[in-house]
């Protein structure tokens, strides 16, 4: 059975074009890009090309790109750099709906004496920019706000937020892991100091990412050692991954139109069809500002894990939330922050499409999903016993 893969916010298939460029670097071109000889230099040229492709896709300079191992490394590096560059400042601002790569770091920093302000969101997952403005202090070292939420797909107004933070002379970091390749992003005129992306979210392999650091932004390395990445990230480069990321970025730019037309139309058809066919189903998140590939739908009185298990029997792959927290039985921290009632939050499923998603795959989900929910509700002790009021904020 071929899987119907609708879990692309967790990870993506490596694009054939990416694999084609990557394979020779795993075999023939195995030299160290830092070596003085021409064999290593040929690999160094491939790394340079990948850096240029990544920079072009983001609208920045190649020297502003640091290759990393993943999004979490980039997020940790950026936030810790901002704090270390401003040791007299002991406050940071972030949101309650960040990925654990930021949220867990913030909680760790609190144990080290850093004061952290966590911004809330409304029922649609939107930030209150007045609350953000009021949270900024003289001792704020960094503000970290994700570009788009990994569970609901809600896109935050990063250009506006970055400008607000810049006016106060505070460093601004955004985790753009879910946004890059799905919506247009240009750093040319956006006052972002640090931006993070991850290769495996945009059809490159796992184990490679990039951190953008605006020229002139004070920077303190996270990994100390060799001189790689101009002394900003020690460790021999993951050259196959870097070459793959460069190609994936090029493809992402070329496919941004398809992502926001055909893929978005597939997402909308899936979402509209499920909500129409299944009673007590609601869409989580702001419908006016979301990633084109993502929908989070809550089904009342059923457990998300049970839905996923039954969907798996049809070869359908989705998620009950972030793959990084799906092992927990607790409702998603994102949905809790939005005030989604428990009876809905527990039954929330994230479908995340990609350029490889087809009409036939969406047809299959629309055909099988109503039966899955109906079957589970028959077994639910709550489905006919109570009727939770939608005003509950859990």
pLDDT band at 1 (very low <50, low <70, confident <90, very high): confident
Mean pLDDT of 309-335: 80
Number of domains observed in the structure of the chain:
2
Distance CA 48, CA 200 (A): 20
User: Given 233, 252, 271, which residue is the final one in a domain?
Assistant: 252
Neighbours of 374 (CB within 10 A): 12
Q: Are residues 247 and 267 in the same domain?
A: no
Are 212 and 333 found together in one domain? no
> Per-residue confidence at 251, pLDDT binned at 50, 70, 90?
very high
Q: Token pair 């753009």 is at which residue?
A: 176
CA 254 to CA 288: how far, in whole Å?
A: 24
**Per-residue model confidence (pLDDT) at position 323:** 46
Provide Rg for the chain, Cα atoms. 22
Q: Is the per-residue pLDDT at 259 higher than 50?
A: yes
Last residue of a domain, one of 252, 270, 298: 252
- Inter-residue contact 97 to 333 (CB < 8 Å): yes
Q: Is the pLDDT of residue 390 over 70?
A: no
176-185, 316-325, 372-381: which is most confident: 176-185
Q: What's the confidence (pLDDT) of residue 383?
A: 66
For the beta carbon of residue 392, count every other beta carbon within 10 angstroms.
12
Beta pairing, strands 171-175 & 140-144? parallel
Strands 316-317 and 294-299: unpaired
Burial of residue 227 (CB within 10 Å: 0-12, 13-18, 19+) is exposed
Provide the percentage of residues in the chain whose pLDDT is more than 90: 92
CA dist 39 and 221 (Å) reads: 28
Position 325 scores a pLDDT of 52
210 in the same domain as 84: yes
pLDDT at 238 over 60: yes
SS (H, E, C) 175-232: ECCCCECCECCCCCCCCCCEEEEEHHHCCCCCCCEEEEECCCCCCCCCCCCCCHHHHC
393, part of any domain: no
Residue 192 shares a structural domain with residue 320: no
pLDDT exceeds 60 at position 327: no
Range with lowest mean pLDDT among 85-94, 160-169, 302-311, 372-381: 372-381
Which residues lie below 8 Å from residue 316, measured CB to CB, with a gap of 6+?
3, 4, 6, 364, 365, 368
Determine how β-strand 91-95 pairs with β-strand 140-144: parallel
For residue 40, tell me if it sits in a domain.
yes
What is the CATH classification number for the domain harbouring 288? 3.90.1150.10
Is 80 exceeded by the pLDDT of residue 258? Answer: yes
Average confidence (pLDDT) over 265-270: 98
Give the percent of the chain with pLDDT over 70.
94
Q: Would residue 337 count as lying in a domain?
A: yes
Domain boundary at 221, 252, 283, which?
252
Whether residue 371 is found in the same domain as residue 245 = no
Q: Flag whether pLDDT at 380 surpasses 80.
A: no
Q: Which domain holds residue 282?
A: 4-9+256-379
223-239 mean pLDDT:
95
The verdict on 20 and 155 lying in the same domain is: yes
216 and 262 co-located in one domain: no
Q: Are residues 177 and 269 in the same domain?
A: no
Q: Is the pLDDT of residue 186 over 60?
A: yes
Contact 211, 194 (CB under 8 A): yes
Assign residue 81 the CATH number of its domain.
Answer: 3.40.640.10
Tell me which residue of 185, 190, 217, 221 sits closest to 54, measured CA to CA: 185
Q: 354 falls in which pLDDT band (50, 70, 90)?
A: very high
pLDDT at 382 over 90: no
Query: What average pLDDT is seen over the chain?
Result: 94
Cβ neighbors of 279 (< 8 A, separation 6 or more) are none
Cα distances (Å, whole numbers) of residue 1 to 115, 119, 315, 362:
51, 44, 7, 16
Residue 302 vs residues 166, 168, 324: alpha-carbon distances, Å = 45, 46, 22
Structure confidence at residue 387 as a pLDDT band (50, 70, 90): very low
Residue 328, pLDDT > 70, answer no
Asked whether residue 87 falls in the same domain as residue 212, the answer is yes
- Active-site amino acid positions: 324
State the pairing for strand pair 294-299/281-284. antiparallel
Please tell me the least confidently modeled range out of 132-136, 254-258, 324-328: 324-328
Where do we find the tokens 């993943």?
70
**How many CA atoms lie within 13 Å of 382's alpha carbon, on the beta-carbon side?**
12
Local confidence band at 393 (pLDDT 50, 70, 90 cut-offs): very low
Q: Does residue 389 form part of some domain?
A: no
Q: Are residues 286 and 216 in the same domain?
A: no
Strands 4-5 and 316-317: parallel
Question: What is the model's pLDDT at position 143?
Answer: 98
C-alpha torsion 70→60→159→7, nearest 10? -30
pLDDT value, residue 189: 86
User: Does 210 lie in the same domain as 174?
Assistant: yes
Looking at residue 151, its pLDDT comes to: 96
Same domain, 51 and 79: yes
Q: Which is higher by pLDDT, 388 or 333?
A: 333
Please write the tens of the pLDDT for every residue from 19-46. 999 999 999 999 999 999 999 999 999 9
- Tokens 């980039």 map to which residue? 74
pLDDT of residue 381: 73
């Amino acid at each position: 059975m071929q899987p119907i893969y609708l879990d692309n916010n967790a990870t993506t298939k490596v694009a054939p074009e990416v694999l084609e460029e990557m394979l020779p670097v795993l075999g023939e071109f195995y030299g160290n890009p830092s070596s003085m000889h021409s064999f290593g230099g040929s690999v160094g040229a491939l790394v340079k090309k990948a850096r240029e492709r990544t920079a072009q896709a983001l609208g920045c300079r190649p020297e502003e790109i640091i290759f990393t191992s993943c999004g979490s490394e980039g997020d940790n590096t950026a936030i810790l750099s901002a704090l270390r560059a401003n040791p007299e400042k002991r406050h940071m601002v972030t949101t309650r709906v960040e990925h654990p790569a930021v949220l867990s770091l913030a909680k760790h920093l609190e144990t080290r004496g850093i004061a952290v302000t966590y911004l809330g969101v409304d029922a649609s997952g939107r930030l209150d920019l007045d609350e953000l403005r009021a949270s900024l202090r003289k001792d704020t070292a960094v503000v970290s706000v994700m570009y788009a939420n990994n569970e609901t797909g809600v896109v935050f107004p990063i250009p506006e937020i970055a400008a607000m933070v810049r006016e106060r002379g505070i460093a601004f970091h955004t985790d753009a892991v879910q946004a890059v390749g799905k919506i247009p992003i240009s750093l040319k005129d956006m006052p972002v100091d640090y931006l993070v992306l991850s290769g495996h979210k945009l059809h490159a392999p796992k184990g490679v990412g990039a951190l953008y650091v605006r020229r002139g932004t004070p920077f303190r390395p996270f990994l100390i050692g060799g001189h790689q990445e101009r002394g900003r990230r020690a460790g021999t480069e993951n050259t196959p991954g870097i070459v793959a990321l460069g190609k994936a970025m090029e493809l992402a730019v070329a496919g941004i139109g398809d992502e926001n037309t055909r893929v978005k139309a597939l997402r909308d058809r899936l979402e509209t069809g499920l909500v129409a066919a299944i009673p007590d189903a609601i869409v989580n998140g702001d419908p006016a500002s979301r990633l084109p590939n993502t929908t989070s739908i809550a089904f009342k009185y059923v457990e998300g894990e049970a839905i996923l298990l039954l969907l798996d029997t049809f070869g359908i792959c989705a998620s009950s939330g972030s793959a990084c927290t799906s092992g927990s039985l607790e409702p998603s921290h994102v949905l809790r922050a939005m005030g989604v009632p428990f009876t809905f939050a527990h039954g929330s499923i994230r479908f995340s499409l990609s350029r490889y998603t087809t009409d036939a795959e969406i047809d299959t989900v629309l055909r099988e999903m109503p039966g899955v929910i109906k079957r589970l509700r028959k077994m639910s002790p709550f489905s006919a016993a109570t009727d939770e009021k939608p005003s509950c904020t859990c």
